Amino acid sequence: MEYIQQILFAVVLGAAIWLIARRIGIIKKTIQLGRSEDRTDHPSERLGMMLRVAFGQKKMFDRPLVGIMHFILYAGFLLINIEVLEIILDGLSGQHRMFAPFFGSGYLYLLGFFEFLAVGVLAVCVIFLLRRDVVKVDRLQASKHREMKGWPKLDGNLILIFEIVLMVAILTMNAADSVLQDINSVHYTKAGDFLFSQFLKPLFSGWSESSLIALERGAWWFHIVGILGFAVYVTYSKHLHIALAFPNTYFARLIPKGEMNNMPEITKEVKIMLGMEADAAGTPPAAAEAPGRFGAKDVQDLSWKNLMDSYSCTECGRCTAACPANITGKKLSPRKIMMDTRDRLEDVGRNMQANSGEFVDDGKSLLGDYILEEEILACTTCNACVQECPILINPLDIILQLRRFQIMEEAKAPASWNGMFSNLETSQAPWKFSPADRFNWADELK
């Protein structure tokens, strides 16, 4: 029977690893569809930023209470995996509590610490569910934000329920294990009563040994299969940020938030016209070769970092809650920009899977079919969304690239914008008066 369980566990583990690896391969390939962009400069500065923001959860603590609760979830996820490692090794080897002989009396304290984290995770997940569905925090409600309808709302609830059930399973397993230790079952290593699960022991004290073994084994299987299923599910969920937050913060922009990325080709043309690129003899250089497309119409026109941003989005809505355009009733939601980019990227990925790895034009594009003109024109470029993001995602960069395409490729700018562009070209200011008169207003201050 033991060998059958080992074989079955190896099959389940192998299937989970294959599914996760396959999904990672698809995500990697779709991210690589983006334009190349060098983000390898200043490695020590980038590493420090990753440790502070992703590992240290620095920006989550801008809201201390929520930050502490999120940190409990985060720490629980990382550290409970040590016990998961023991469970996996037990499953493959046919042993039980393999780490107990190595840690000796310290094993009881180690498991107590893990149970403390498990109870903390359970409590925080319950609180987060109440915040979503009873307190109804504004930024998480479908009634106020159309992007949170359907799957996004369900996904947020499912993951919390999933974690609650998994924590209950591990406490149940430990409680049944403790009772079996008390009746001197041969298979169960004597480790003692655990910190929290000992309080569940009275529920099972009258059970027969065979019933307890069935409960303990059932909880063991449920927990480990649930963990493996959770790992697969995460790759399809917004909770992919659990893994991507680290590279996403490492490769984040190091330049000031308010600094926009100019197009080198356009910058060079402007400098040539102004005589700023001429050599000592006054000869201007050759004009820069025009890019294939100005701005971005579809995900392939964005950079790979923009695409990684979309996969990393936690859908927390902090960006949208801080967006002045959204607050005043405009359709723009920075969270929706990121979710739409990810949805388009997923559609492109499925298209490539169905066509032997090649993308076949489906008649759709990110701008128009997913993100509307009205949304990108509402943006004030204030950078509030960039400032608020806990993992340094930059929705504004995507918005600006979509705008560039619309204005430079399709010549679709509001009339007021065209007037401003003309004034900038002729008067070097947004207003229609001579540059020499620009400071006339200051005369009235005398």
Whether 62 contacts 331, CB under 8 Å: no
> Is residue 301 located within the same domain as residue 213?
no
Residues 235 and 141 in one domain: yes
CB atoms within 10 A of CB 292: 7
Residue 318 lies in a domain: yes
Q: At what angle do helices 304-312 and 241-250 cross, to 10 degrees?
A: 140
pLDDT tens digit at each of 446 positions of the chain: 567 778 888 899 999 999 999 999 999 999 999 999 999 999 999 999 999 999 888 998 888 888 899 888 888 877 777 778 888 888 888 777 778 777 777 888 888 888 898 899 999 999 999 999 999 999 998 888 989 988 888 998 999 998 999 899 989 988 888 888 877 656 666 767 788 888 988 888 888 888 988 898 888 888 888 889 988 999 999 889 888 999 999 999 998 888 888 777 777 767 766 666 655 555 556 555 656 678 899 999 999 999 999 999 999 999 999 999 999 999 999 999 999 999 999 999 999 988 888 888 889 999 999 999 999 999 999 999 999 999 999 999 999 999 999 998 888 888 888 888 888 878 777 887 777 777 777 777 76
Number of domains forming the structure of the chain: 2
Place of tokens 């204030």: 382
- Predicted structure pTM score: 0.86
Residue 395 domain-assigned?
yes
In this prediction, residue 293 carries a pLDDT of: 77
Q: How far is CA 9 from CA 194, 257, 343, 363, in A?
A: 26, 49, 34, 45
Residues 242, 358 within the same domain: no
Q: What is the pLDDT of residue 1?
A: 58
What pLDDT does residue 105 have?
76
- In this structure, is residue 274 part of a structural domain? no
How many angstroms separate the CA atoms of 245 and 235, rounded? 13
Same domain, 174 and 224: yes
Residue 371, strand partner residues = 367
Domain range for 227: 2-32+63-250
Residue by residue, DSSP assigns 138-163 as GGG-TTT-GGGSSHHHHHHHHHHHHH
Residue 366 belongs to some domain of the structure: yes
| CA atoms 90, 95, 97, 100: torsion sign | negative
Q: Quote the CA–CA distance of 388 and 366 in Å, as a whole number.
A: 24
Residues 301 and 373 in one domain: yes
